[in-house]
Chain A
């Protein structure tokens, strides 16, 4: 079946260091991926997305890498700040009923930034 998961449930980094959050997916038919940030008590906040015809996309302080060969997605955060502390989810467009209408989320990685 299809699933999206994360290699590490928690990640602790020093302020100013770079962070890398990983995600594995199993549905080779997925062609759209998103990273979300979720702070306690709030809804997920869009960070960056990537389509399967790309292997890298950059935003402000964030980069998403997609390796379709091994079905791996990563989120890199440069110069991590205390405000980056949150749970990060990767999501893929799901092939639910053949319409790929929904997003399937992984379990999340909790990022803690030490000052």
Chain B
């Protein structure tokens, strides 16, 4: 499979714990995006990378959230001290360049109990 892959697919964690998600984009894609989606809503932009540089961060991305793409390939999204409001689907997408189709992974569904 040469699409965007995300790991894990599901994560259940207790409030206050830290979680980390991984995204492997399509190999030749320079841009990588993180989105969050809650039930019945469209995906909300969190942040994106151009190669290893994090170029934009949404106001939704609190200090508890951090994302990295150290070698310009895979990316990780970490949430520290999780809260119940963090429960959502976290989606990763990649594109070759700006204004080209973004391909999404299957997402990581986070449940904070």
Residues of A within 8 A of B (CB): 4, 31-32, 34, 36, 42-46, 49, 51, 89, 91, 93-94, 96-97, 99-108
Q: Let me know if A34 and B102 touch, CB within 8 A.
A: yes
Q: Let me know if B103 and A46 touch, CB within 8 A.
A: yes
Considering the complex, give the chain B residue whose CB is closest to the CB of A9.
B40
Q: Let me know if B31 and A42 touch, CB within 8 A.
A: no
Q: Let me know if B45 and A102 touch, CB within 8 A.
A: yes
List of B residues within 8 angstroms of A49 by Cβ: 101
Considering the complex, give the chain A residue whose CB is closest to the CB of B95.
A103
Name the interface size band of chain B.
Answer: 20 to 34
B33 partner, pick from A31, A102, A107, beta carbons under 8 A: A102
B110 on the A face (CB < 8 A): no
A94 partner, pick from B31, B45, B91, B104, beta carbons under 8 A: B45
List of A residues within 8 angstroms of B45 by Cβ: 94, 96, 102-104
Most B C-beta atoms less than 10 A away, residue of A49, A93, A102: A102
Within 8 A of A (CB), among B54-79: 55-56, 58
B39 nearest CB across to chain A (Å): 11
Q: Interface residues of A: mostly helix, strand, loop or mixed?
A: strand
B28 on the A face (CB < 8 A): no
Residues of B within 8 A of A (CB): 4, 31, 33, 35, 40-45, 48, 50, 55-56, 58, 91, 93, 98-99, 101-107
List of B residues within 8 angstroms of A100 by Cβ: 98-99
Given the known inter-chain contacts A34-B101, A44-B104, please indicate yes or no for A97 contacting B42, CB distance below 8 A.
no
Q: Could you write out 7 A-B pairs with CB less than 8 Å apart?
A: A31-B99, A42-B106, A45-B104, A51-B99, A99-B56, A102-B45, A107-B42
List of A residues within 8 angstroms of B48 by Cβ: 101-102
A22 nearest CB across to chain B (Å): 15
Q: Let me know if A105 and B56 touch, CB within 8 A.
A: no
List of A residues within 8 angstroms of B40 by Cβ: 107-108
List of A residues within 8 angstroms of B35 by Cβ: 105
CA distance in complex: A85, B58 (Å): 31
List of B residues within 8 angstroms of A108 by Cβ: 40-42
